[in-house]
Amino acid sequence: MGNTQMAIEFLQLMEKGKRCEPNINLYNTIIDSLCKDKMVDEALGLLQEMIERDIPPNVVTYNCLIQGLCNLSIWKEVKRLFSDMKDYKIVPDVFTFSIVVDALCKEGHIEDAEKVVWIMIQQGQNPNLVTYNSLMDRYCLQRQIDEARRVFDTMVASGLTPDAHSYGI
C-alpha cells in the first residue's frame, strides 16, 4: 500500500505541474494498484478524474477495475462498468470476460459463468485457456466430471492446447 500512496502523490505532483501531464498508462497503473489493495472506491474515483481531465479510459482501465470489483464480489458495479464500456465504445476483450468467468467460477456460480462465455462468443471473443480452465476447475470441484470433460473437449476443438494447469485439474 505504501507504493500505491507514493504513486498517487506522484500523480498529484504531475497534475499541479505544467511540464509533464499524466497519461493513460500512469492512471491504469495506479488504478490497478488501488484495486489490488482493495481500494476500489478510490480507483473508481480516479476513473472519474480521468474522464473529467479528458483522458479516455481504455480496456485495460476497465479490466483493472473489473478485476478489483470481482475480487470483492461487487457484481452490481461490474455490470455498471460493462454498461459504461458500451457507452464509451470500449470493446471488452478476452481478458475482460475471463476475469469475470474466473471470479464467478470461484464463487460457485458456474451457470452465470457459462452465460458470460456465451455472451463472450456472441461478441466475437474466443475463450482462452484461463476461461476454459476456470470452468473445468469449478465443474470438477462440483464433481461434474462429464461437464468438465465437455469443456475440455470444446477447448481442444477450438484449437487451444491444454497446459499443465488444464491437465492438473
Residue 1 confidence (pLDDT) above 60: no
Cβ-proximal residues to 76 (8 Å cutoff; 6+ apart), any chain: none
The pLDDT tens digits for 95-122 are 999 999 999 999 999 999 999 999 999 9
pTM (2 decimals)?
Answer: 0.86
What is the third-level CATH fold of 1-77? Answer: 1.25.40
Q: Is residue 2's pLDDT more than 60?
A: no
CA 22, 25, 29 angle in degrees (round to 5)?
Answer: 105
Task: Answer with the residue of higher pLDDT: 4 or 59.
Answer: 59
Contacts of 135-141 with C-beta under 8 Å, sequence gap 24+, read 135/101, 135/105, 135/110, 136/166, 136/169, 137/105, 137/169, 138/105, 138/106, 138/108, 138/110, 138/113, 139/110, 140/169
Mean pLDDT estimate for the chain: 91
3-state secondary structure 131-146: HHHHHHHHHHHCCCHH
Distance CA 169, CA 166 (A): 6
Q: Which of 61, 104, 101, 68 is nearest to 84 (CA)?
A: 61
Residues 13 and 44 sit within 8 Å (Cβ to Cβ): no
> Who's near 138: CB < 8 A, 6+ residues apart?
105, 106, 108, 110, 113
Regarding predicted confidence, which is higher, 19 or 90? 90
